[in-house]
Amino acid sequence: MSTPAESPRTLVVERVFPHPPEKLWRALTESQLLAQWMMSNDFEPVAGHRFRFRTDPKPNWNGIVDCEVLIVDPFKSLSYSWGVGPGEAGLQWVVLWTLTPADGGTHVRMEQSGFRPNQQAAYQGANYGWQKFFGGLERVLGGLV
Amino acid sequence: MVLDVKPANANHVFRALADPTRRAIFEELARQGEQTVHALTRYADVSQPAVSKHLTVLKRAKLVRHRRDGRETYYRAQPDALAPVVDWLNLYGAFWRERFDLLEALLERMN
Which stretches of chain A drop beneath a pLDDT of 50? 1-8, 115-145
Other C-beta atoms lying within 10 Å of the C-beta of residue B94: 10
The CATH number of the domain holding residue A105 is 3.30.530.20
Q: Using one digit for the tens of pLDDT, what is the confidence trace for A59-77?
A: 656 788 899 999 999 999 9
A32 touches chain B (CB under 8 A): no
In a domain, A3, yes or no: no
Q: In chain A, how many domains are there?
A: 1
Q: Does B50 touch chain A (CB under 8 A)?
A: no
> For residue A87, is it within any domain?
yes
Of residues B14, B86, B16, B65, the one with CA closest to residue A141: B86
In angstroms, the separation between the Cα of residue A22 and the nearest Cα of chain B is: 11
- Phi, psi of A137, deg, nearest 5: -60, -40
| Cβ <8 Å between B77 and A132 | no
Query: A55 and A39 in contact (C-beta within 8 Å)?
Result: yes
Give the mutation candidate from A9, A36, A66, A133 for the B interface (greatest B CB count, under 10 A).
A133
CATH topology of domain B7-109: Arc Repressor Mutant, subunit A (1.10.10)
C-alpha to C-alpha distance for B36 and B75, rounded to whole angstroms = 6
More confident residue, A74 or B94: A74
pLDDT of A53 reads: 94
Q: Kind of pairing, strands A105-113 and A11-17?
A: antiparallel
pLDDT of residue B90: 66
Could you tell me the pLDDT band of residue B14, with boundaries at 50, 70 and 90? confident
Is the ipTM of this structure higher than 0.95?
A: no
pLDDT of residue B16: 86
| Identity at A7, one-letter amino acid code | S
pLDDT digits (tens, 9 = 90+) for A115-124: 433 333 333 3
Establish if A2 belongs to a structural domain: no
Give the other-Cβ count within 10 Å of A114's Cβ: 18
Q: Which domain holds residue A85?
A: 11-144
Let me know the angle formed at the C-alpha of B91 by B90 and B95, rounded to the nearest 5 degrees.
Answer: 120
Interchain contact, B30 vs A143, CB within 8 Å: yes
Strands B64-69 and B35-36: unpaired
Show residues of chain A in contact with B97, CB under 8 Å: 13
Q: Are strands A40-41 and A105-113 parallel, antiparallel or unpaired?
A: unpaired
Helices B83-109, A21-29: axis angle to 10 degrees equals: 120
Nearest-angstrom CA–CA distance, B31 and B12: 22
Which of A40-44, B5-9, B72-76 comes out lowest in average pLDDT?
B5-9
The helix (run of H) or strand (run of E) holding residue A105 is: strand A105-113
Burial letters A44-68, b for 16+ CB under 10 A, else e: ebeeeeebebebeeeeebeeebbbb
User: CA angle at residue A4 from A10 to A109, to 5 degrees?
Assistant: 50
How many helices (H) and strands (E) chain B has is answered by: 5, 3
Cα separation, A16 vs A7, whole angstroms: 21
The domain ranges of chain B are 7-109
